[in-house]
Amino acid sequence: MVNELVRHDTRELATWDEIVAPPEVKERLANQALLSLLIRPSSPFVATALHGMCTLYGPPGTGKTTLARGLPQQLASYVPGRAVRLIEINPHGLMSAEHGQSQQRVDELLGDYIPSLAADGMPTVVVLDEVESMAVARSAASLAANPADVHRATDAVLTALDRNAQLHPHLFVVATSNFTDALDEAFLSRSDAAILVPLPDAAALRAILRSTLGALGDTYPTLRRLADHPDLAAVAAQAIGLDGRRARKAVFQALARDRATVLSPGLLTLEALAATLADEAALTTTAATGGRDAAN
């Protein structure tokens, strides 16, 4: 778990600006969080029904967690005290095969520990990453090994969210999920907004490649020329279908195609990068098609 304080700093805002995601997604997330942190402390829960939670969903590697982590930096300049706390939770560590343990851990963490960390009333963003591991759809739990424990753990999540919504309006939860079908319907209904973070388009892929090459350019200056090359947009088009994480990794796969570029990364060419991206995109298409064929 990560617990840190994020203060308003113009240098830190660049981090939010550098996150490659659709502008409308970033704007909606920031506005939803800000509205919650400003409105809920002075408005009764029974009137607003706001739980102070947003769910970011979409394919893996699209930047959901990065957006959630960067959110406090965007909010800090608008809230009293100009500071926002960040608490990040990996729910995988909470779940246990021991009878009743998952429920107890969830209740202690969400119901007691997080409120105690934020007991000073400072605006706080809580990131629940890959939340499907702790808010499992109870309607599908009948086939699970321990459906009773699944029910109890999900019930504990819902109870904690309800209690925190009423008692701790300075908390704002950002849940991320790669598999919304696995999420409990009651959990989704408590989310004030569910925002799709899609696969990057050609422009976003170009920005991702440019930032990766630019970062490498600090050590290998010739790569800066690739980052600013006018043909990079055409190269990025080869990556359509890739998520942002795989697009970044493709730069290093391109370097690994030849021993010469392993030893001297500055020798990388746009042609080698384009070939690697095309291979990765073709692999992604094949995997997706195979999955549909298997399902049929």
Could you read off the pLDDT of 155-181 as tens digits, one per residue?
888 999 999 999 999 999 999 999 888
pLDDT at 97: 46
pLDDT at 41: 93
Residues 262, 239: one domain?
A: yes
pLDDT at 140: 63
DSSP assignment of 3-37? EEEEE--HHHHHHHHHS-S-HHHHHHHHHHHHHHH
Which of 87, 60, 84, 69 has its CA nearest to residue 2? 87
- Mean pLDDT, the chain, rounded, equals 86
User: What pLDDT does 99 receive?
Assistant: 46
Lowest mean pLDDT among 60-74, 134-148, 189-203, 226-240: 134-148
Examine residue 224 and state whether it is found in any structural domain, yes or no: yes
Task: State the pLDDT at residue 68.
Answer: 94
Flag whether 296 is in a domain: no
3-state SS assignment for residue 49: coil
Structural domain includes residue 172: yes
172 φ, ψ (degrees, to nearest 5): -130, 120
pTM of the full structure: 0.85
Residue-wise pLDDT for 60-84, tens only, equals 999 999 999 999 999 999 998 999 9
pLDDT recorded at residue 151: 76
Tell me: do 85 and 10 sit in the same domain: yes
Predicted local confidence at residue 294, as pLDDT: 46
* Residue that terminates a domain, selected from 143, 178, 196: 196
Q: What pLDDT does 92 receive?
A: 64
**pLDDT given for residue 176 in this prediction:** 94
Give the CATH number for residue 129. 3.40.50.300
C-alpha 203: how far from chain center: 20
Residue 76 domain-assigned?
A: yes
pLDDT in tens, 223-262: 999 999 999 999 999 999 999 999 999 999 999 999 999 9
Give tens-digit pLDDT for 266-295: 999 999 999 999 999 998 776 665 554 544
Same domain, yes or no, for 121 and 228? no
189 with 207, same domain: the answer is no
Tokens linked to 90: 């990996």
**Residue 109 lies inside a defined structural domain of this protein:** yes
> Do the beta carbons of residue 140 and residue 92 sit within 8 Å?
no
One domain for residues 128 and 56? yes
Give residue 250's pLDDT.
96
Same domain, 227 and 274: yes
- Residue given tokens 């990364």 in the structure block: 265
State residue 43's pLDDT score.
93
The answer as to whether 26 is a domain residue is yes
Same domain? 163 vs 274: no
Q: What backbone phi and psi angles, to 5 degrees, belong to 56?
A: -100, 125
- Is residue 25 one of the residues assigned to a domain? yes
Tell me whether residue 69 is in a domain: yes
- Domain count for the chain, please give it: 2
Q: Classify residue 42 by burial, with Cβ atoms within 10 Å: 0-12, 13-18, 19+.
A: exposed
pLDDT at 93 over 90: no
Produce one character per residue of 47-71: b if its CB has 16 or more CB atoms within 10 Å, e if not: eeebbbbbbbbbeebbbbbbbbbbb
- Token pair in block for residue 198: 């899609």
pLDDT of 116:
93
Q: Are residues 169 and 39 in the same domain?
A: yes
Can you give the pLDDT at residue 35?
96
> Alpha helix (H) ranges present in 40-125?
45-48, 64-75, 101-106, 114-117
User: Containing domain of residue 146, as a range?
Assistant: 2-196
| Residues 182 and 255 both lie in one domain | no
Residues 109 and 51 in one domain: yes
Residue 9 has pLDDT above 50, yes or no: no
Amino acid at 219: T
Choosing from 175, 196, 217, the residue where a domain stops is 196
Both 97 and 191 in one domain: the answer is yes
| Same domain as 183, residue 72 | yes
pLDDT value of residue 50: 95
CB within 8 Å of 244: residues ≥ 6 apart: 20, 61, 62, 63, 200, 204, 205, 208
* Pairing verdict, β 2-7 and 83-89: antiparallel
The domain boundary, picked from 177, 196, 215, lies at 196
Render 171-230 in DSSP notation, one character per residue: EEEEEEES-GGGB-HHHHHH-SEEEE-PPP-HHHHHHHHHHHHHHHHTTSTHHHHHHT-T
**Could you give phi then psi for residue 11, rounded to 5 degrees?**
-70, -35
